[in-house]
Amino acid sequence: MATTSAQQQVDLKATLEMILDNAVQAVTGDAGAIALWNESERRFDILATYNLGRETMGQLLPLLDEVIPDLATSRESFDMLSTLAKGSPLPYSGTGILQDPIIVLPLQYGHEAIGLIYVLRPAEGVSFSRTEQRILAAFAQQAAIAVQNARLAHLLAEEKQRVESMLEGSAEGIMSIDAERRIIGFNSAMEKLTGRRKDEALGKQCISILNLCDSKGNAICHEQCPMLLPGSESVSTFEQQGTIKAKDGRNIEVEMLYSFTRSPTGSPLSAVINFHDISKLVEVENLRTTFLAMLGHELQTPLSLIKGYASTLGRSDGRWDDKVRNEGLQIIEEECDRLSKLVNRLLIASRIESGAMVFQKEAVQLPQLIDKLVRRFNTMTDIHTFEVVFDPDFPPIDADPELIEELFVNLVDNAIKYSPDGGRVEINGKVDDSWAEITIADEGIGIPVRDMDHLFERFSRGRSNSVEKVRGVGLGLFISRYIAEAHGGRTEAFSKFGRGSRFVVILPLQQAL
């Protein structure tokens, strides 16, 4: 017989014992047993006994495999053990009475014989009759059905377990709900997605756990739940995109696929819902749109200026004095520099994204590097003053000089850009243990608290009017942070809105490596 779980085996044994009790009494026997055929071991296993001691079972077991099965399939399924197994000692019942008359019937399910039921009578008793054979046949049938039910229950339990472990192991969030939209299944991917434990979710209304909204932010659960949609009786699946609320309050963009089970009249009994997290896709899509809009704007302005000045200065009827011509040429040059800087940043960002960044490290003297770039920035502004102070005997760092320059150019450039009224830009270099700590502080517009968390993300720009007036694509800090981290360091930002900002770059000193 197919293996059953321990509990099912106990239940089946109890049912068979009850059937056997009734059977023995109905055919006025003294003892009996039900044995099931064990296909894998190719032998009978006794599952239920009535008034048979351990010793008797020992005597009966050899008979079970040889004589009794033959008797079960014969038309005259009743006989005397003393005739069937000549020479073998007759068995005693559990109450010590010698047994001889026996009746045996197969437990038949369809065409398959799945076991035997047999009843014994005391030795001096008469042989069983055909009527008793018919009575026992009814009990044999009951027992066969009980065994078959247990097998089916076992198969079902196995199948259920298989499906459950498949759902549990799925990388996609899977949740099932009943007709009242109470959660009846919640896999571990769902726990990860929502930040809620399974035991928190089970039994709760779906709305209280997920708070589903459609892609326009309208709550779905009250009126638009696919379980409630009119005319949806024949629909077995339904797809929808929306957001769910995680336990920490985050909205997560998901694609949902509902699969319904329905009653014969079509009303939904339950639904299994797959949740596919598409937040990354949505984020990439948003980035793409922001990037294209920003890029368009950032390219358009310098190109218009270059084109405007070039065509004006190039007019054959134009008579420009040297001052006007030089100013025009200077603007063209500045705008070309701006474009080249933009292209350079885009290239660095794309190399960072693709992991194709190459570092050529050497000993870099930070005070000299900062001095050089401050001299360059000094020529570009009249309204900012620079103050550079480094600890004496500043040790070198092991770094790619071009990338480290890019890191500080971005920060000093920002200090100027975001201080439109001018002011002091202070650059301090300190040695702290085995670290170089460079601070760039300005007296500019500062950064509102709401922007602080996203400063270093790619294409992230401040959301204030004063930032919008400044040209930029939101890559400078992203690149600077990457370069610092790729050198084993980090960046930090501090600011008081309206009162300037301070960026700190911490890099390991060469001897610490």
Question: Which residues are at the interface with ligand ADP (CB under 6 A)?
Answer: 410, 414-415, 418, 442, 444-447, 451, 455, 460-462, 467, 472-478, 501
Query: How many Å is the Cα radius of gyration of the chain?
Result: 43
Q: Of 276 and 454, which has the nearer Cβ to ligand ADP? A: 454
> Residue 167 corresponds to which tokens in the numbers above?
């759902």
Minimum CB–partner distance for residue 350 and ligand ADP (Å)? 16
What is the rounded distance in angstroms from the CA atom of residue 286 to the CA atom of residue 240?
20
Minimum CB–partner distance for residue 388 and ligand ADP (Å): 17
d(CA 3, CA 494) in angstroms, rounded, equals 68
What's the distance, CA 57 to chain centroid? 56
What is the torsional sign of CA 192, 197, 202, 204? negative
- In the complex with ligand ADP, the residue whose CB is nearer, 84 or 294, is 294
30 or 442: whose CB is closer to ligand ADP?
442
Q: How far is the CB of 465 from ligand ADP (least distance, A)?
A: 11
Q: How many CB atoms lie within 10 A of CB 191?
A: 17
Cα distance between residue 388 and residue 427, in whole Å: 5
Shortest distance (Å) from residue 482 CB to ligand ADP:
11
Could you tell me where the DSSP H helices lie in 314-354? 322-354
- Report how far residue 19's alpha carbon sits from residue 372's, in angstroms, rounded to the nearest whole number: 99
Q: Look up residue 86 and give its amino acid.
A: K
* Spatial contact of 361 and 398, defined as CB atoms under 8 Å apart: yes
Structure tokens at 14: 């109890």
Nearer to ligand ADP, 196 or 458 (CB): 458
Of the two residues 242 and 472, which places its CB atom closer to ligand ADP in the complex?
Answer: 472
Cβ of residue 162: shortest distance to ligand ADP, in angstroms? 52
What values do phi and psi take at 491, rounded to 5? Answer: -125, 150
Query: Looking up tokens 């830009």, which residue turns up?
Result: 425
CA–CA gap between residue 441 and residue 429 (Å, rounded): 12
User: Distance between CA 273 and CA 54 in Å, rounded?
Assistant: 55
Tell how many helices (H) and how many strands (E) occur in the chain: 15, 18
Q: Nearer to ligand ADP by C-beta: 12 or 407?
A: 407
Closest by CA position to 339, among listed 376, 295, 374:
295
CA distances from residue 429 to 278, 354, 424, 493, 506 in whole angstroms, order as listed = 44, 32, 16, 16, 10
Q: What is the dihedral of CA 375, 378, 384, 387, to 10 degrees?
A: 10
Instruction: Select 273 or 348, whichever has its Cβ closest to ligand ADP.
Output: 348
Shortest Å, Cβ 422 to ligand ADP? 13
Rounded distance, CA 494 to CA 307, Å? 40
Q: CB nearer to ligand ADP: give 173 or 472.
A: 472
Sheet of 99-109: strands edge to edge? 43-50, 31-38, 112-122, 99-109, 78-80
**Which residue in the block uniquely carries the two structure tokens 């600011």?**
495
CB 249, min distance to ligand ADP, A? 25
- Closest distance of CB 443 from ligand ADP, Å: 10
CB of 54 within 8 A of CB of 69?
A: no
Nearer to ligand ADP (CB atom), residue 390 or residue 478:
478
112 or 457, CB closer to ligand ADP? 457
Strand partners, 446: none
The residue (of 35 and 483) whose beta carbon lies closer to ligand ADP is 483
By C-beta, is 132 or 442 nearer to ligand ADP?
442
Shortest spacing between CB 461 and ligand ADP, in angstroms: 4
Tokens describing residue 79: 């006989």
Distance of closest approach, residue 456 Cβ to ligand ADP, in angstroms:
7
